[in-house]
Amino acid sequence: MTKFTDLNLDKKVLKAIADAGYEEPTPIQAGAIPPALEGRDVLGIAQTGTGKTASFTLPMITLLGRGRARARMPRSLVLCPTRELAAQVAENFDTYTKYHKLTKALLIGGVSFKEQDQLIDKGVDVLIATPGRLLDHFERGKLILSDVKIMVVDEADRMLDMGFIPDIEKIFGMTPFTRQTLFFSATMAPEIERITNTFLSNPARIEVARQATSGENIKQNVVMFKGSRRERAATEKRDLLRALIDAEGETLQNGIIFCNRKMDVDIVAKSLSKHGYDAAPIHGDLDQSKRNATLEGFRNGELKILVASDVAARGLDVPSVTHVFNFDVPSHAEDYVHRIGRTGRAGRDGKAIMICEPRDEKNFADVERLIGKDIPRLDNPLGTSSAAPSNEAASPEANETKSAEKPKRTRTRSRRSSDKTEAPKTDTPKVDAEAVTPVQTEAPVDAAAQEAAPEVKEETSPAARETASEPRQDTRTERRDDKRDDNRDDKRASRSRGGRGRGRSRDDDNKVLGLGDHLPSFIAMSFEERREAEGN
């Protein structure tokens, strides 16, 4: 059995590892650390939970221990697909560099450029970034990557899902050809293979067993569910979710509920809270400080149930999650493996329960094919699926349900209410106030969720994925957030204003639209009269 002391790591790193309580290296660490320390490129095929973060941070710290950072020229670069993952990698660096004097900067959206610029200006040994934010800094001329000696790409498969591969290629091109590359991906899609063939040089390839597929310590179940009527299915599905949670009793200490769409993340979290469950949402559209606070609450045990999208929760390391619920069958089978891998970590027991609707059956078959086994069916705790009683009538969700069932009527009512607002002052203010009750505010959300559902079922093409799935949207959010602080945005805005202005002035020089060459004399007269009046 390999020991950490066999790996040639710096003594101060070994001390920090001992403080962290690690006794022996995990397989990815034992495989990746020696070639990384020799300066070789590494291709690690491993997913989160395998100890892959330490497999690149520990040799990096050992290598960076010799030498110093120069202003604006980081010596190493770690690229992560999401802010949360980047923040987690930064935490890892803090843990393992406790006896070193290495400096680091975290470049992620949602943090002001000014603070990040100041850190970079001073010079950093390790730069941890999401691709969008890194490129923004680079394009503003605040960052020089020509001194990068080690570059890490973490969770490359997720980068691919999020449309970051062109950015990654660009960043590779900005770093020196002589850099060392440590590249990690849970899977090797053809596009990932192509990138590694292009940018890695004779890498040491280390592949470790899939954590979730080999993890016998996660008990997996699925409940086949069909709503009694199409328009009631969403409510009944939430009833079922609560019944499944309740059935776990005391064994459920904390859990993550995954939904395929951000809209459902919000709806499910809100619905659970209304029913008295300790639940909060996390997805890419939420404000970064809110995301951090929710995660922190979940990590330290203050929050029991996290309702999450794949992007927001991917790669997050919460050591003891007792349950994972898949509110939807993920549309990409790989995500099932990542999702259930949030539980049963570090050899603990875990439980993963999924709800499968008839429209999910194809995706469900893909999941079973991928994991190479049948997932045992669980009886619907509310009785037979189609006859599943819904407690909606007496539930705090009654309003929500009502609005979801009658989207058209709600829209009609909203229109009427605005008609009333515009009508001559015959309606009292009270009538208007009633027309915009919170019930109506909620209605379009739920109604839209219902209307959007069939699209997700049919989501197969890349284009459909881009519009319907979380990752692209998260990318855009990342960009949006980044742009908010960005001076380039101002420039772009003024450029586009200038463009439009020029367009307008050209039009102004010409004719009045629709009148051709002929300018009626009464128009000219009115101007002259005004000019005369102004002259007086």
Unique residue bearing structure tokens 């993890």: 215
Non-local (6+) Cβ contacts of 10 within 8 A are 61, 62, 65, 100
| DSSP sequence for 382-420 | TSSSTT----GGGSTTHHHHHHHH-HHHHHHHHHHHHHH
Q: Does 294 bind ligand AMP (CB under 6 A)?
A: no
> To the nearest whole angstrom, how small is the minimum distance from the Cβ of residue 1 to ligand AMP?
12
* Smallest distance from ligand AMP to CB 160, Å: 19
- Is 53 or 390 the residue whose CB approaches ligand AMP more closely? 53
Q: How far is the CB of 319 from ligand AMP (least distance, A)?
A: 6
Nearer to ligand AMP, 347 or 514 (CB): 347
Span of 25-33, 139-147, 470-478, 524-532 interacting with ligand AMP by CB under 6 A: 25-33
Report d(CA 287, CA 477) in Å as an integer: 10
**Residue 325 and residue 256 in contact, taking contact as beta carbons nearer than 8 Å:** yes
Judged by CB under 6 A, the residue of 147, 231, 317, 427 near ligand AMP is 317
The nearest distance, CB 212 to ligand AMP, in angstroms, is 12
Q: What is the CA radius of gyration of the chain?
A: 28
- C-beta of 51 vs 132, nearer to ligand AMP: 51
Binder of ligand AMP out of 30, 45, 50, 281 (CB under 6 A): 50
CB-based contacts of 328, cutoff 8 Å, min separation 6: 258, 259, 260, 261, 264, 355, 357, 360, 456
Q: What phi, psi does 46 have (nearest 5°)? A: -155, 150
Closest CB 410 distance from ligand AMP, rounded Å: 45
Task: Please identify which residue in 22, 99, 138, 277 interacts with ligand AMP, judged by CB under 6 A.
Answer: 22
- Is the Cβ of residue 2 or residue 414 nearer to ligand AMP in the bound state? 2
- Nearest CB to ligand AMP, comparing residues 89 and 354: 89
Whole-Å CA distances, 167 to 136, 142, 173, 195: 11, 18, 10, 12
Residue of 14, 42, 44, 52 that binds ligand AMP (CB under 6 A):
52
d(C-alpha 447, C-alpha 267), whole Å: 11
Note whether 48 binds ligand AMP by CB under 6 A: yes
**CA dist., res. 40 & res. 339, Å (int):** 32
Q: Does 91 bind ligand AMP (CB under 6 A)?
A: no
Q: Closer to ligand AMP at the Cβ: 22 or 99?
A: 22
Candidate segments 48-56, 321-329, 352-360, 440-448, binder of ligand AMP by CB under 6 A: 48-56
Sign, CA torsion 366/370/376/379: negative
What is the contact mask toward ligand AMP in residues 405 to 444, using x (rule: CB under 6 A)?
----------------------------------------
Exactly one of 31, 35, 44, 49 binds ligand AMP (CB under 6 A); that residue is 49
Distance CA 383, CA 387 (A): 7
- Binds ligand AMP by CB under 6 A, chosen from 141, 249, 276, 319: 319
Residue 422: both structure tokens together: 């515009």
Beta bridge partners of 280: 306
C-alpha to C-alpha distance for 138 and 146, rounded to whole angstroms: 11
Asked if residue 217 binds ligand AMP (CB under 6 A), the reply is: no
Counting contacts by CB under 6 A, is residue 208 touching ligand AMP?
A: no
Task: Write the single-letter amino acid at 79.
Answer: L
Q: In this complex, which beta carbon is closest to ligand AMP, that of residue 149 or of residue 314?
A: 314
CA 494 vs CA 365, 451, 476: distances in Å: 52, 39, 22
d(Cα 23, Cα 234) in Å, to the nearest integer? 48
Q: Contact between 347 and ligand AMP (CB under 6 A)?
A: no
* Pick 48 or 220: Cβ nearer ligand AMP: 48
- By the rule CB under 6 A, 53 interacts with ligand AMP: yes
Q: By C-beta, is 26 or 116 nearer to ligand AMP?
A: 26
> How many residues in the shown chain lie near ligand AMP by CB under 6 A?
13
Interface with ligand AMP, residue 54, by CB under 6 A:
yes
The distance of closest approach from Cβ of residue 467 to ligand AMP in the complex, given in angstroms and rounded to an integer, is 31
| Closer by beta carbon to ligand AMP, 261 or else 338 | 338
395 binds ligand AMP (CB under 6 A): no
Strand partners, 126: 76, 104
Question: Which residues face 258 on adjacent strands?
Answer: 308, 326
| Tokens standing for residue 355 | 């709800």
User: x/- site string to ligand AMP, residues 28 to 47, per CB under 6 A?
Assistant: -x------------------
Q: CA dihedral defined by 192, 37, 72, 105, rounded to 10 degrees?
A: 80
Provide, rounded to whole angstroms, the least separation between the CB of residue 20 and ligand AMP.
Answer: 6
Residue number with CB closer to ligand AMP (26 or 76):
26
Please report, to the nearest 10 degrees, the dihedral formed by the alpha carbons of residues 308, 208, 105, 291 taken in order: 10
What DSSP character marks residue 251? Answer: G
Distance between CA atoms of 525 and 361, rounded to whole angstroms? Answer: 74
Q: Which of 9, 25, 85, 304 binds ligand AMP (CB under 6 A)?
A: 25
Please say which residue, 21 or 535, places its beta carbon nearer to ligand AMP: 21
51 or 74: CB nearest ligand AMP: 51
Binding site for ligand AMP (CB under 6 A): 22, 25-26, 29, 48-54, 317, 319
